[in-house]
């Protein structure tokens, strides 16, 4: 469900960098609220994706 919302926002704004950063912040919040290996990896992956989107 979260992924769908993020993709929809990217289509509307056209800014993949901001969308990826927003997703990374949400993923980090989830990792803090529900600490487990999967959420930690998800948050880290989100930040990598955001970084790659923003440096292009």
Q: What confidence score (pLDDT) does residue 43 get?
A: 93
What digits encode the pLDDT tens for the residues 1-56? 445 455 554 454 446 788 888 999 999 999 999 888 999 999 999 999 988 888 87
CB contact at 8 A, 26 and 2? yes
Question: pLDDT value at position 6?
Answer: 52
What are the backbone angles phi and psi of residue 2, rounded to the nearest 5°?
-60, -40
C-alpha distances in Å from residue 30, one per residue of 3, 51, 54:
14, 19, 22
pLDDT at res. 5: 52
Task: Report the pLDDT value the prediction gives residue 19, as an integer from 0 to 100.
Answer: 86
């Amino acid at each position: 469900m979260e992924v769908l919302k993020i993709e929809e926002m990217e289509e509307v704004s056209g800014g993949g960098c901001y969308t990826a950063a927003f997703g990374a912040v949400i993923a980090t919040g989830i990792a803090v609220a529900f600490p487990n290996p999967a959420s930690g990896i998800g948050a880290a992956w989100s930040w990598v994706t955001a970084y790659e989107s923003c440096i292009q």
